[in-house]
């Protein structure tokens, strides 16, 4: 782990002008009670940016495989990374300063062409548009800093709308929430929605792992359902294999913008769906079978502009027998960090017809 904290300063500047651009960076304060990372201190446009902690797969390969094989104790095998998020409208100069001398530095993906300028304890580069970046200093790739620069959020829903399930800034705890047709779930910037196991919740025993299975934290079932926002949905308080974070089953579904952290099993299963758009989701997980996005027996699904760092499969196509074909799937412009499974895959569990699948312009920044 990084023993000394780093300081990151993002100073926004107008194109061609030396001054700052008012409103170029939107920062969402962290809620009281949320654990923050001690490895990095971040400023955006001269203002503090919350840096959150995230458990990730451990450095040692044998511990990564132990996390996969030892289902009961999977949550015990991890290292810590960090992430911050903000909205960006304009051009930003990113400066990273560390207490120690910087010997080497990377800004990933390299396809973005963001080659940092290093001088002593400082590196800098210019960010001209929203991107999902990973910053690695002195060869430390496990305890990296993920910076999620989102496009500006527009047309946020009203908390008074009866068709909106609104999670404002702060910490919220929910069990399993069923979301029906015509509804929007909105997780505001600065909100953390924690999925917990309520005492009254029913469960079954998995024939695969022998562990308890509960209903998903968010179950989107119906038509014309939206999940959006800038905040965090966290599964860290659910035992391994307990529940999906977001389960999708329906037609005309839109998932956008939120951060999904530490799912206890598959993060976003898309099952028996038609017309699904998944955009700008950020997924970080480390536990056994914590897949990213599993597209199962679905048609016309677009996944774009997402960041995924999980222990198991990232974006994978699957088809259970008798549940319908898979057709018209596109995954593009995503940033992917693969550990022990597949970054992009037409998966092993194929028992129905699969056709018209396109993976395009995705950056795999690590493949362990």
Domain spans of the chain, in order of start: 6-150, 164-367
Instruction: Report whether the peptide linkage leading into residue 354 is cis, meaning its omega lies within 30 degrees of zero.
Output: no
44-75 b/e (C-beta count within 10 Å ≥ 16 → b): bbeeebbbbbbbbbbeeeeebebbbeebeebb
Does the pLDDT value for residue 20 go beyond 60? no
Helix (H) or strand (E) holding 358: strand 354-360
CA quadruple 345, 251, 152, 39: dihedral positive or negative? Answer: negative
pLDDT above 70: residue 191: yes
What's the pLDDT band for 9 if we cut at 50, 70, 90?
Answer: very low
The CATH architecture annotation of domain 164-367 reads 3 Solenoid (2.160)
Q: What is the pLDDT of residues 48-86, one digit of tens each?
A: 889 999 999 999 999 999 999 999 999 999 999 999 999
> Is 60 exceeded by the pLDDT of residue 19?
no
pLDDT value of position 122: 79
As a whole number of angstroms, the distance between CA 236 and CA 17 comes to 44
321 vs 4, which has greater pLDDT?
321
Residue 65, helix vs strand vs coil: helix
**195-254 residue pLDDT tens:** 999 999 999 999 999 999 999 999 999 999 999 999 999 999 999 999 999 999 999 999
Q: How confident is the model at residue 298 (pLDDT cuts 50, 70, 90)?
A: very high
First to last CA, the chain: 18
pLDDT value at residue 284: 98
pLDDT at 313 over 90: yes
Per-residue pLDDT of 117-137, as tens digits, reads 888 877 788 888 999 999 999
Q: Phi-psi bin for 123: left (phi > 0), alpha (psi -120 to 50), beta?
A: beta
Phi first, then psi: give them for residue 79, nearest 5 degrees: -120, 180
CATH code at 6-150: 2.60.350
Judged against a pLDDT cut of 50, whether residue 1 lies above it is answered with: no
Entry field: residues in the chain: 368
CA distance 299 to 239: 32
Q: What is the pLDDT of residue 23?
A: 57
């Amino acid at each position: 782990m990084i023993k000394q904290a780093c300081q990151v300063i993002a100073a926004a500047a107008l194109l061609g002008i030396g001054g700052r651009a008012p409103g170029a960076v939107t920062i969402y304060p962290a809620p009281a009670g949320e654990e923050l990372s001690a490895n990095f201190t971040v400023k955006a446009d001269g203002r503090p940016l919350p840096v959150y902690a995230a458990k990730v797969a451990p450095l040692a390969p044998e511990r990564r495989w132990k996390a996969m094989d030892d289902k009961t104790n999977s949550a015990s095998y991890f290292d810590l990374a960090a992430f911050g998020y903000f909205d960006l409208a304009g051009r930003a100069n990113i400066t990273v300063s560390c207490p120690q001398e910087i010997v080497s530095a990377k800004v990933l993906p390299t396809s973005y062409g963001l080659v940092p300028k290093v001088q002593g304890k400082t590196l800098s580069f210019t960010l001209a548009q929203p991107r999902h970046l990973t910053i690695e200093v002195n060869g430390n790739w496990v305890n990296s800093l993920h910076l999620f620069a989102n496009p500006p959020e527009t047309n946020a829903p009203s908390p008074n709308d009866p068709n909106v399930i609104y999670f404002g800034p702060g910490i919220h705890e929910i069990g399993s929430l069923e979301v029906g047709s015509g509804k929007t779930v909105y997780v505001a910037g600065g909100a953390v929605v924690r999925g917990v196991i309520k005492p009254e919740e029913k469960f079954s025993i998995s024939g695969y792992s022998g562990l308890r299975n509960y209903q998903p934290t968010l179950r989107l079932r119906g038509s014309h359902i939206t999940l959006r926002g800038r905040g965090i949905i966290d599964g860290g308080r659910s035992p391994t294999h307990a529940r999906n974070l977001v389960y999708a089953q329906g037609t005309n579904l839109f998932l956008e913008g939120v951060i999904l952290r530490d799912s206890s099993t598959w993060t976003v299963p898309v099952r028996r769906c038609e017309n699904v758009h998944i955009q700008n989701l950020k997924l970080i997980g480390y536990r056994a079978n914590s897949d990213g996005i599993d597209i199962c027996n679905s048609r016309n699904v677009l996944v774009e502009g997402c960041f995924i760092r999980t222990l198991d499969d990232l974006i994978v196509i699957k088809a259970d027998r008798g549940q319908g074909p898979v057709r018209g799937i596109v995954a593009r412009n995503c940033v992917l960090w693969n550990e022990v499974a597949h970054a992009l895959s037409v998966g092993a569990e194929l028992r129905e017809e699969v056709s018209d699948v396109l993976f395009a312009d995705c950056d795999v920044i690590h493949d362990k």
